[in-house]
Structure 1
Amino acid sequence: MRAIDTLLARYEESHRNPTNEVIHFICIPAIVFTLLGLIWAVHWVLAVTVVLAALAYYVKLSPRFAAGMALLSAIMLAILALLPPVVILPLSIAIFVLAWTGQFIGHKIEGKKPSFFEDLRFLLIGPLFVLSFLYRRMHISY
């Protein structure tokens, strides 16, 4: 079994409840966007550097996932570039807090703790978990 398959299977163990899954499908992209927004508020080059570092990890796991994450990251960075700089930090903080609150509510419903409590890599696997559903619907192998 490939490392990506093992990681997704382990992640899925604490994300089986349909309500928790829906919450994650909404909140994980929001968290990624707002995390990039928080970093962008420091400096846009730092946000791009973080994306490139994450993509390097994703390429090792699955080049097809890395391609999908590159596209999504590019869209998020483009949106940040278009936003007025004065709104990026407060907007990112507000949505970040709301999205994490949603995540913890989802895990309360699930009855299991978040995966990243056992392994920080799952902070990077969460977006791939969401992307895997899209890939399966579009019949794209990863």
Structure 2
Amino acid sequence: MKNLVEHLSQYASYHRDPRNIATHFVGIPMIVVAVTVLLSRPGLDVGGLWLSPAFVAALASVWFYLRLDLRFGVVMSALLGACLWAGQALAVQSTSVWLVAGLGLFFVGWVIQFVGHYYEGRKPAFVDDISGLIVGPLFVVAELAFMLGMRPELKAAVEHNAGPVAIREKKAAV
């Protein structure tokens, strides 16, 4: 299994333009919430705990994140817990509310992602490695930590492997 630096470095290599990174701060959370909402049906309330496919997927994701890094794993657990809460809140609404919320967030989130990749001039990371779908949310959390001055050793290792964040200039068509 790849370690934290390897996962983040590979994902970061597709995300070095700050405009692309900025779109990921909006698009990825929208997509994660959307997937959680859509997987929150069918569900069953067992003693105040909403058991659904989203709960199973969140548990598997938390296990992945905690194995990579305890600190980020705890943060990801809290964020996924909030997503599960939102998913359950929408899952108990009418089918149309549940679907419009889930599909709307999913569609808009991906549009925002593709705008970012237009600036980057590269395809999304998951096209070459499906693990990019689970690493993406972790990347957003790591980038936020880096912006806050946290985990400088991790930031240095990722930038050593993936290169610095810099605006990518579009190449003129010949």
Matched residue, 1:101: 111
Q: Is the 8 A contact 2:39 2:54 kept in 1?
A: yes
Rounded Cα–Cα distance in structure 1 between residues aligned with 2:89 and 2:31: 19
**1:23 partner letter:** T
- Equivalent of residue 130 in structure 2, options 113, 117, 120: 120
**3-state SS of the aligned residue for 1:85?**
coil
**Structure 1: any 5+ residue segments left out of the alignment?**
none
**Structure 2: any 5+ residue segments left out of the alignment?**
44-50, 155-174
Matched residue, 1:13: 13
Q: Is the 8 A contact 1:23 1:106 kept in 2?
A: yes
Q: Is the 8 A contact 1:41 1:89 kept in 2?
A: no
**2:103 partner letter:** I
**Alignment length (residue pairs):** 141
Indicate the percent of aligned positions where both proteins have the same amino acid: 32
The structural deviation recorded for 1:80 is 2.6
Rounded Cα–Cα distance in structure 1 between residues aligned with 2:123 and 2:42: 31
Q: What is the CA RMSD across the aligned residues, in angstroms? A: 1.8
- Equivalent of residue 85 in structure 1, options 82, 89, 93: 93
Matched residue, 2:164: none
**2:65 partner letter:** Y
**1:55 partner letter:** V
The structural deviation recorded for 1:62 is 1.1
User: Which runs of structure 1 show a deviation greater than 4 angstroms over 4 or more consecutive aligned residues?
Assistant: none
The structural deviation recorded for 1:78 is 1.5
- Equivalent of residue 75 in structure 1, options 66, 82, 95: 82
Rounded Cα–Cα distance in structure 2 between residues aligned with 1:98 and 1:111: 20
- Equivalent of residue 139 in structure 1, options 143, 150, 166: 150
TM-score (structure 2 length as normaliser):
0.74
TM-score (structure 1 length as normaliser):
0.90
Rounded Cα–Cα distance in structure 2 between residues aligned with 1:95 and 1:81: 15
Q: Is the 8 A contact 1:38 1:92 kept in 2?
A: yes
Superposed CA deviations along residues 55-84 of structure 1, whole A, max 9, x for unmatched, are: 111121112111111100111112233345
Query: Highest Rg: 1 or 2?
Result: 2
Q: Is the 8 A contact 2:27 2:113 kept in 1?
A: yes
Q: Is the 8 A contact 1:41 1:85 kept in 2?
A: no
Cα gap change, 1:82/1:38 in structure 2, threshold over 3 Å: closer, same or farther? closer
